[in-house]
Structure 1
Amino acid sequence: MAAVARGSFSVFRKLMSQQYRRRCFRLQSFRCERSLQTLAFRGDRKVQMFPSRALHTATVSHGPIVQFKLSDIGEGIMEVTVKEWYVKEGDKVSQFDSICEVQSDKASVTITSRYDGVIRKVYYDVEATALVGKPLVDIETESRAEVIHEEDVVETPAMAREEHTHQEIKGLKTQATPAVRRLAIENNIKLSEIIGTGKDGRILKEDILNFLARQTGAILPLAPFQEITPPPPAPPAAPRPADAAAAIKAPPATPRPVFTGKDVTEPLKGFHKAMVRTMTAALKIPHFGYCDEVDLTRLVSLRAELKAVAAGRGVALSYMPFFIKAASLGLLHFPILNASLDESVQNITYKASHNIGLAMDTAQGLLVPNVKNVQLLSVFEIAQELNRLQTLGTAGQLGTSDLSGGTFSLSNIGSIGGTYAKPVILPPEVAIGALGKIQVLPRFDAGGHVVRAHIMNVSWSADHRIIDGATMCRFSNLWREYLENPASMVLDLK
């Protein structure tokens, strides 16, 4: 019996050696378990205790649990509302998988995972308020040493900036190779600002370079994917006599009224809360109003000629790119309209970039995304950017970068209806214009004959603390001249 025990101890020491444990416990765990069970029956009770304890430590292996924190979204945002969870406790996630959607008073943002692992804890319910710097979920990651060092994603600015590459506009994943991510970080670009053109929306190196070109004004050749030729429209079928009246004009769809029969009270959240704060601050600004009308007859003809050219490149060309570009050309002559006042109203900052915002009526409320660096863009490039912003706005996917940093705004109220408005300045901006609908009205030409003219009314509001009426009037006259004689814009385009 003693010989058997000594033999068992000899085999046990061999099993517990580092090399044999690595070879058996990790690669042949099932065979090792059977060997230990056999040894336990051969030895005495003292021998039986040690292998069972060794078996427990060898087979139970968990990776480190990392607290995935909500990083700094920017713009001074310290809290967000959790709108939807895409995972639950026990779900397995991979890098770039969507975890949840959060909404601040600026934009909706989808948070994606930085790790491969399993969700072990969810910290917030839907509609709960999540705080920046606090954990969203606990993720049990793979048992790799390097994962532990990535736990803190908020404390250091470098990690906070990298974390932005894992925050995305709802529905658009920021997938990119490490080389592309490094290129974005080196140029201080957030991947959430770029829509990838690769497979499954993957961001390519060319997407980064094209984005940089738009920011710096560099001219790059059109990429092949931009040369899109739409299929020829199918010839309309002749309506049958019975359907002739319906084919002429279909009745507009009107929403049915909803009567709940009781009062409903709910807290202000998200964009509505931001609108209350912004408009409250706007009331402190003494507004100066100025209205005028613009004859767009020549622009209507020019746009009709260029519309098919833009459509051949896959871009819908509206009048707004011309309005925006004319405003930028005017701001070059009147930079005070592209300025801002500090909170103490002691200093004026003249903005170098013309980030011109466009007020949009969306399902989430009034949003004002802006086209960055209009002074460096062509009319076609502005149209491209507007197409992108309008697509994201319709889908409720506008990001923080699209909604922040504006220096001057236009509100196209005419797209809904009406000719005049009294626009409210969006602080810290100092001017805004509201565009009415384009109407065909009789006007006199140079010879005194009555002709058809396409007339649009514009209503300006300016911060009367730093902008006088004469400045606003001169800017409006220059803006109107560019639009009434669009060929003159060619002389000043850069």
Structure 2
Amino acid sequence: MSIFDKSAFKFSHQHRSFRTSAISNGQIVQFKLSDIGEGITEVTVKEWYVKEGDSVSQFDSICEVQSDKASVTITSRYDGIIRKLHYNLDEIAYVGKPLVDIETDALKDVASEEDVVETPAVSHEEHTHQEIKGHKTLATPAVRRLAMENNIKLSEVVGTGKDNRILKEDILNYLAKQTGAILPPSPKPEIIPPLPKSKTVPAAPKDRGIKIPIPISKPIVFAGKDKTEAVIGFHKAMVKTMTAALKIPHFGYCDEIDLTQLVQLREELKPLAQVRGVKLSFMPFFIKAASLGLLHYPILNASVDENCQNITYKASHNIGVAMDTEQGLIVPNVKNVQVCSVFEIASELNRLLTLGSAGQLGTNDLTGGTFTLSNIGTIGGTYAKPVILPPEVAIGALGKIQVLPRFNGNGEVFKAQIMNVSWSADHRIIDGATMARFSNLWKSYLENPASMLLDLK
């Protein structure tokens, strides 16, 4: 099984913009899809929030579109009336072509060409620009929230993005210069104290064995003729990255992990996490153990240039998690795992899963990954041959947890919770011994979860 790419998710995070231009009568504004860079020439219109004749105000949502990188929501720049929608649902909107026409009386106050910045689909209620000291400062809602949490004035930060947009990296660099500290990812999950002793928490359920999901069959309808569809959206991104991945010589390594102690620990912690409003799966432990291992073997958290002449060791552990969604297989990532607790990782995973299921993951969630884990076990697989997501150099596929007989040190048979892992690495810069040592360290953390306490920071 291969991880479908998301090369598309390896680009730097910048805002998408739409340009407006007034026609001769001075009353109708045409939103035109401008060149948004990164080779994007088209997007798919997924949903209209307005119809012809509707009145809109500034920042009202107009439509949701999807590129091969993420879904975004387009918001109105003006107060006015929608006069024309240039596309139907699921049609392709092209760069340089009008998206909608809006009749407005505000043209006299607006330049003939001005950016209309779109927002991530998850942030319908937030705006991506604000006026500061008489000039417009462009930033995403997530960046503005990060600045607010750290008491940073955006007017004091130099933006390095297109049109001087302020990126997350600009905030982090500004904070580092001020404090010299490493900033945890934003947003921070709210920490709720444990319940008082007078209140009881549900007891951990006893071992009920491994449930095998029963596939839900749907009625099969035979159309009787061939059907041809264009490759668009996330599937188009899959084509790009998997084609690039074939140029990488893959090295495979497999092992089995005894998760008996981890299964018991998770059952004990699940009620506490539930009280804090977080669903605790095994994945946060897998991710944190991987991050601890990457601290010892940073070559696995690196990238190489196209000609494999330079290696860049990534400071942040942005660990991607493959998710199966209705839009296809996508790989959002948990940022800065090296400074996150297991609970913080679980909270962020919950957020990503919720947005992924709704098709509302933003570009920032889908870009910047440095290492990937794919949990094929949720579907039922045991082994896989994962494909590296360039420019990353390593990926792991996790199988399902099975109850199997094993022998202890005294030769006695006991019931063990076994999971298989399959690693793939770029054999141009990673040798088998390094992959095996990393896997053994990762394995030791999971088989003896209490040992992770010694290295947690």
Global fold match (TM > 0.5): yes
Distance change in 2, residues 1:352/1:150 (3 Å): farther
Q: 1:35-434 maps to which residues of 2 (within 5 A)?
A: 64-70=27-33, 75-132=38-95, 134-143=97-106, 145-146=108-109, 148-149=110-111, 151-153=113-115, 163-164=116-117, 166-169=118-121, 172-175=123-126, 190-191=140-141, 205=148, 216-217=183-184, 223=190, 253-434=216-397
Contact 1:228 1:314 survives alignment (8 Å): no
CA distance in 1, matches of 2:374, 2:346: 16
Contact 2:59 2:127 survives alignment (8 Å): no
CA distance in 1, matches of 2:188, 2:368: 28
Which stretch of the first structure deviates more once superposed, 110-119 or 472-481? 110-119
How far apart are 1:371 and its partner, in Å? 0.7
Distance change in 2, residues 1:441/1:189 (3 Å): farther
How far apart are 1:253 and its partner, in Å? 3.2
Listed one character per residue, the Cα deviations across residues 311-351 of structure 1 (whole Å, up to 9, x for unaligned) are 01100000000000111111111111111111222211111
State the one-letter code of the partner of 1:297.
T
CA distance in 2, matches of 1:208, 1:358: 31
CA distance in 2, matches of 1:365, 1:207: 36
Q: Secondary structure at the match of 2:449?
A: coil
How far apart are 1:374 and its partner, in Å? 0.8
How far apart are 1:414 and its partner, in Å? 0.4
CA distance in 2, matches of 1:421, 1:459: 6
Listed one character per residue, the Cα deviations across residues 427-474 of structure 1 (whole Å, up to 9, x for unaligned) are 111110000001111111122221111110000000111111111001
Measured on the aligned residues, the alpha-carbon RMSD in Å equals 3.5
Distance change in 2, residues 1:107/1:66 (3 Å): same
Unpaired runs of 5+ residues, structure 2, are 1-24, 153-167, 173-180, 203-210
State the one-letter code of the partner of 1:174.
E
Q: Secondary structure at the match of 1:487?
A: helix
CA distance in 1, matches of 2:221, 2:297: 49
1:480 aligned onto 2:443: yes
Listed one character per residue, the Cα deviations across residues 46-92 of structure 1 (whole Å, up to 9, x for unaligned) are xxxxxxxxxxxxxxxx9743333435656543321222322233321
Contact 1:339 1:429 survives alignment (8 Å): yes
The structure whose residues are more often strand, as a share, is: 2
**Could you say which residue in structure 1 is the equivalent of 2:432?**
469
Which stretch of the first structure deviates more once superposed, 478-487 or 444-453? 444-453
State the one-letter code of the partner of 1:102.
V
Contact 2:201 2:271 survives alignment (8 Å): no
- TM-score normalized with structure 1 length: 0.72
How far apart are 1:398 and its partner, in Å? 1.6
Contact 2:129 2:140 survives alignment (8 Å): no
State the one-letter code of the partner of 2:124.
K
How many residues of Structure 1 are paired with residues of Structure 2 in the alignment?
395
Contact 2:332 2:366 survives alignment (8 Å): yes
- TM-score normalized with structure 2 length: 0.77
Q: Secondary structure at the match of 2:82?
A: strand
The structure whose residues are more often helix, as a share, is: 1
CA distance in 2, matches of 1:251, 1:219: 38
